[in-house]
Amino acid sequence: MFARFRDENATITAGRLFTPGMLPSDVAQDRVEILTLSDGRCLAWSEYGHRHGYPLIYLHREGGARVEAKLLHEAACAAGFRLISVDRPGIGYSSFKSLNVYDDLVADYEQLIRHLSLKHVGLVSWGAGSVLALALAKGVKEKISIVTLVSPSRAQSGLPDVWGLRWLATMGMRLVLSVRSHRMKADETRYFLRWREQLCFADKKHVDNPWVSSLLVDVARQSLRQGAKGVAQDLMLALSQKNVAENVLIPVHEWSDGSEASTNLISTREGALYFRHFIRRQGKLFINRAAADIFNTARQSIALSPVVCDLQRH
């Protein structure tokens, strides 16, 4: 049931992103793993939580990066979960790939699941990572045992599906992100304080924790490591796609602060296990405080998963 944790050092193909023996300090610290995909691109991930725990793939929020999962490390250890946090294309150390929809990434995650020899795996997403989580729940349904959506994206109409308009919007987003990246590099402290002032009181309390604020700065650095191209694409996909899935017949847990629209993300069908949880008065960054509850609920729910039950019967 428990997948083996990989202790070997990152395997990196020479000439891609960086070369073996010359690991940047953040790679050495976070133990970045690199998988060369069938089309030659690199897929990067880091692992947190319990080394031999039940595997959960973490899908970062829009414009985020794999290091977000550090927020969940201690809670995952306590609950017995192994977090596999993946950089999306053009973010962190994953090679860029032009995407039309998040569904285009399903094949990449299938290769990662096979590479890690995972019989079944859960999904944990934050923000727009929920769109990809639901796509994986449909595309790799024989492997996915549970889906946990934290503050899921709720775009109901999306941007017009016109290539020219989307291209212009993406270019504009890249320009804005490039300017922000330059300002952040020039004076990180000032940039962070200006960003903090835009938060609600509850979120300010979260980021006033020095460790949390340091991690959020690291997330920003990692997301823009290859420039603004990958982040801009990720943000545009988050704005342009609906987050509704049909025929998802595995346990799905949605965690939110209660401020989103009341429309369910999942089309209710016979056999569906769809649960909603609310964490009120904790702000948008409640994932930091609610991690223990999220993982304990996931642990209890995994036994109900049709995927796990089928494997146990065989």
- Convert the pLDDT of each residue in 103-131 to its tens digit: 899 999 999 999 999 999 999 999 989 98
33-36 and 54-59: which strand pairing?
Answer: unpaired
Work out the number of other CB atoms within 10 angstroms of the CB of residue 136: 25
Please report where in the chains the tokens 């150390």 appear, as a residue. Answer: 93
Which is higher by pLDDT, 182 or 13?
182
Residues 211-269: tens digit of each pLDDT: 999 999 899 999 999 999 999 999 888 887 765 556 677 889 999 887 654 444 544 44
* Distance separating alpha carbons of residues 245 and 123, to the nearest angstrom: 15
Give yes or no for a contact between 209 and 263, defined as CB atoms under 8 angstroms apart.
no
Q: Taking Cα atoms as reference points, which of 116, 121, 152, 129 lies closest to residue 59?
A: 129
Which residues does 22 contact at the CB level (< 8 Å), separation at least 6? none
Q: Looking at residue 243, what is its pLDDT? A: 58
Residue 76 has pLDDT above 90, yes or no: yes
Complete domains list, the chain, with CATH: 25-313 (3.40.50.1820)
